[in-house]
Each structure stands twice: as structure tokens, then as C-alpha cells.
Homo-oligomer: A and B are copies of this chain.
């Protein structure tokens, strides 16, 4: 830790989600020293949102000894733009859905001018893994978040790949089934996230239930109500159809990762998000499929890792890591 870090030993992390905005004050080892939260959607405009955030933050900043102890702030947010520090047209945020909000600048001005960096949530997760998590010390890895959708953050040569417009790393929208793929929310068909997200698993369940007669615990449910968690619970009880659903999901994700390897030949793929709770149900077919599908020169090389950051704090840690990286 250098002298400046010793005097300013903390960064603020903000995990700005569609529902909650969680703040944490984090030290260089990834220990959360104080935390607080506000409701993201309870505000009509960005000024009110920032005012409420600053009120909440002052309390936890005082707990760690005041703003003098804070080096920087990092924000992970949907549609966050690292180059401009703004949130651009985020469909799920009432105060940012129809314009661009210069959130990094607004926070910096209200926090005595400390540097504030903002990036999207998947990129923040990748930086978090590199600084505090299972990818510590790695220069080349791909982070894939498997939640409601599929997000990604790509690290090459020890740097985040932002691309020409900060919009790089949308691997959830790689088209994995170019012929007769599933319709995606993005308006196209066959995107990875229509198969390998939590909602993708639920879609697979409905498809498999319809096209087969295999008995299954899932048949006791209204097909529209089935979630990936239900599938995972059934699979853990040995339900054959549920196991097939995870086989299919892992198989397709492994095939996709095999294609990603040709791009950046990563040392590891790191997975995070709700779907990873299925553990080996997902990871075993994934790794097997990867090694079956990948070009020979890459075979058996990449590690497949689950994020070891605690789920509830990982997003805040990821956001805070952006602060260390400024």
C-alpha cells in the first residue's frame, strides 16, 4: 500500500441496481467497513437520488473517520459508461430512462472532488474479481454473469476491454443459434442469454416439458411459474428432466465459451450470478462441453471458476474496485 493509500485507506462502492442502491466503504483487502442502502426508484429525478445518496453516505463516511479517509468512489450501474461517467438511457431507472445522467461528476462534486469512476455492473464484477476475487493476479480472463440476463466483462493484458465506445463485452448477445434461435429481448434471435440465463433455463424447462413425456416434478407446476430455482431444486432431487435441462444449458454455455476462447484465449472463465447456485449441475456439463467443442490448441487450458465473493456484497466490492483502479 503506498503512502497515499495509507492516508486514504478506503474507497466507496455503489452497486446501483434496479431496485436497491447499496453503498459500501471498502478497504484495500476487500473488507466492507460500513454499508448503507436506499431505494433506487423512490426518486423522480437524479438530483433527488443523489441528495438521498449523499445523506445516507455521510453517516457511513463519518463511521470510518470522515471524507479525508476516502480515496475514490466506484459505481457499477446498468448502462454505465466508463468513458463519460454517465448512465445513458437505462430502461429500468425512472430518473435515467430518457436521458443521460452524469452521475460520476455529480457524486464527485458532492464528495469534495474525490475521483469517481462509473462502469456497468458486469465490468465492475470483472474488476472486482481481478482485485479481490478468484482472478487476483490474472491478466486475461472473462467474467460471465448469469442472472436474469447474461452479462460479461473481459480482461485482456490486465485491462478492461471497453472497446471504441465503452460498449464492448456484451457476450450475452452473441448469437449462438443463428438458425431458428429463440427470440431475444434485444429484437434478434438466438442470443446466448435466451438459453443460459435464469429466464433461459425457465424457457428450456417449458420447452422440454412440452416436447417430451418424461415424468417430472416440474409437471406439478404451472409452466409459466417455473423458475430456474425450481429446476435446480428438482435436479438436486434427481429429477431426470430437470437434469437434462441443466445438461442442455451447460452444453450450450460450454460451446459459447469455446468460441470466446478463439478471441482472447483467457486463463479463466469466472462465473457469477443466480444461476451459478446450481453448482456442478451447470459446471460439469459446461466444462465437458467446452473441452469437446474448443479448438485443439486451447483444450484443457482455461480454468472454470465460480466467483468466491459473497453474493450479497460482491456487487458493492466490484463497484468499489473501480475506485481503486482509477
- Contact across chains for A266 and B164 when beta carbons are under 8 A apart: yes
The smallest beta-carbon distance between A299 and chain B, in angstroms, is 11
Asked if A178 and B177 sit within 8 Å, CB to CB, the answer is yes
**Copies of this chain per assembly:** 2
CB distance from A305 to the nearest CB of B (A): 14
Q: Contacts A186-B295, A295-B186 given: A301-B263 contact, CB under 8 Å? A: no
Find chain B residues with CB under 8 A from A264 CB: 154, 161, 163, 168, 263
Task: Give the complex CA separation of A170 and B265 in angstroms.
Answer: 9
For A164, A167, A267, A297, which residue has the most chain B Cβ atoms within 10 angstroms? Answer: A164
User: Taking the nearest CB of chain B, how far is it from the CB of A317, in angstroms?
Assistant: 24
A187 and B296 in contact (CB under 8 A), knowing A164-B140, A176-B178, A301-B164? yes
Q: How far is the CA of A201 from the CA of B168 in the complex (A)?
A: 31
Q: Roughly how many angstroms separate A163 CA and B154 CA in the complex, as a whole number? A: 11
- Contact, CB under 8 Å: B156 / A163: yes
A255 at the interface (CB under 8 A from B): yes
With A262-B173, A263-B154, A296-B187 as contacts: A301 and B255 at CB distance below 8 Å: no
Which of B140, B164, B171 has a CB less than 8 Å from the CB of A267?
B164
Query: Is the C-beta of A174 less than 8 angstroms from some C-beta in chain B?
Result: yes
**Candidates B139, B173, B293; contact of A188 at CB < 8 Å:** B293
Q: Which 8 A-B pairs have the closest CB atoms?
A: A163-B265, A164-B267, A168-B265, A170-B262, A140-B164, A173-B295, A167-B265, A168-B264
A-B contact pairs, 21 of them (CB 8 A): A140-B164, A156-B157, A156-B161, A157-B162, A161-B263, A161-B264, A163-B264, A164-B265, A164-B302, A165-B265, A165-B298, A167-B298, A168-B262, A168-B264, A169-B262, A174-B259, A175-B255, A177-B178, A187-B296, A188-B293, A259-B259
Additional 9 contacts, C-beta under 8 A, given A154-B264, A188-B295 = A139-B164, A140-B164, A161-B264, A164-B266, A164-B301, A168-B263, A170-B297, A175-B255, A263-B263
A residues with a Cβ closer than 8 A to B are 139-140, 154, 156-157, 159, 161-171, 173-179, 186-188, 255, 258-260, 262-267, 293, 295-298, 301-302
